[in-house]
Structure 1
Amino acid sequence: MPRLYGTSIMLREYQSDDLPWIRQWVNDPSIVYFLSDIFLYPHTSESTEAYLDAVMEGSADSRGFVIADIKDEAYIGQVNLDAIDWKNRVGRIGIVIGSSEYFGRGYGTEAMRMLISFAFLELNLNRLELEVYDYNERAIRSYLSCGFIQEGRLRERQYKNGRYIDVIQMGLLRSDWDKQGNIAKQ
């Protein structure tokens, strides 16, 4: 896959040198609090290494990138298209910024915009989807600014930290993205 260059970040391929960076966040409660239940239990070094090996090897139904500093290619996080349905042209997005020191700098929003452009213009997808916990207000603002709309709410779908929370389903269609004038921005 090509490397994609933005203003302050690049989206690059996964590398074996990314393992220590992924290990740094994968069991960090302040990071995984916002992520799916696959992070409910501690991840071993072996399972993280197996995950990294699998994404470097690639699969037919996913495309993933490391979010990296544009100057030195240092790992910031990752953004992935998973469960790509090639027949119906649909992809599901997952994103993580791997350290709270990078929060609030716009890296996630820039990475999302770059991935959206890649998904629609290069992969010819028609629809992108994601799910977000209702308390993740920073992420919801970011997704809305990228053009996603709330399509559903799964009430009390997840049990986190002693309470039930809603899961918000969001989607973005290529036609809506085009109407927002995004092709002209490329």
Structure 2
Amino acid sequence: MWIAIGEKTRIRKLEREDVDRMRYWGKHSNPLFFHYNFPSLSKQERDEWYRLKAGKFRKKSFVIENSENEIIGFLSIRDLSWFKSEGELGIVLDPNHMNEGYGTDAISAFLAYYFRRMKMRAITLRAAVYNERAIRCYKKCGFEVIGEEIMEFEDQTAEIFYNPKYQEFTEMFIRSDRGMMTKYVKMELKRGNYEHSINSMSTKTMWKCE
């Protein structure tokens, strides 16, 4: 059952067999995004990956499909607070299908489900400052920057920290007692602002009940 349908994408709950299909995704060529590559996992490890992503009270996970029924992305809401009616968005796309408008379309479709079906009050996300493409996408979907902070980088063992050929990227990081740090922006979209801006969005969406 689709929970949301956009012009280019359809979103539904993550299933175990989806994880097997995601392992055939492409790979990022930019070392700053290596940690977004789908990991090489054994069947047992994929079982565990699915278990960690699905079925938690404070987390919901979904896949994004295109019109050819290809799984081209993964979307999650983590740190769900049902009392505060808010959560944090995370999204990863197959590198083979980036720059095709799928990210904006999928997020726009999902927001209709999030605010209208789940009846949530606000949604937040974090993005590394250097990830300018993603930040532009989020702004296009209505998110606003509400702050910046220095945080631990997601992959503390990233190749950029020890491979000399990636030395040019190290200036984006700060070494501290907590590990390698970088600057992130925190972005937010509130339901009132979403409802106000939805008519001006270029991506028209529909939403369905589960």
Instruction: Name the TM-score, length of structure 1 as normaliser.
Output: 0.81
Distance 2:69 2:31 in 1: 23
Distance 1:31 1:117 in 2: 32
| Pairwise CA distance, 1:119 | 0.9
Aligned to 2:108: 113
Aligned to 2:177: none
| Pairwise CA distance, 1:44 | 3.4
Aligned to 1:73: 69
SS in structure 2 at match of 1:166: strand
Aligned to 2:208: none
Instruction: Point out which structure has higher relative CO (alpha carbons under 8 A, 6+ apart).
Output: 2
Distance 2:199 2:45 in 1: 38
Corresponding position: 1:134 with 2:151:
no
Identity of aligned residues (%): 25
Q: 1:31 to 1:68 in 2, by over 3 A?
A: farther
Runs of 4+ in 1 over 3 A off after TM superposition: 28-36, 53-56, 155-160, 181-186
Aligned-pair Cα RMSD in Å? 2.9
Aligned to 1:52: 50
Q: 1:73 to 1:53 in 2, by over 3 A?
A: farther
44-53 vs 78-87, which deviates more? Answer: 44-53
Distance 1:33 1:22 in 2: 20
Instruction: Name the TM-score, length of structure 2 as normaliser.
Output: 0.73
Q: Which runs of 5+ in 1 are unaligned?
A: none
Q: How many residues align?
A: 179
Q: How does 1:1-186 map to 2 (within 5 A)?
A: 2-25=2-25, 28=27, 30=29, 33-34=32-33, 44-45=41-42, 46-56=44-54, 58-70=55-67, 72-98=68-94, 100-155=95-150, 157-158=152-153, 161-162=160-161, 163=170, 164=173, 165-182=182-199
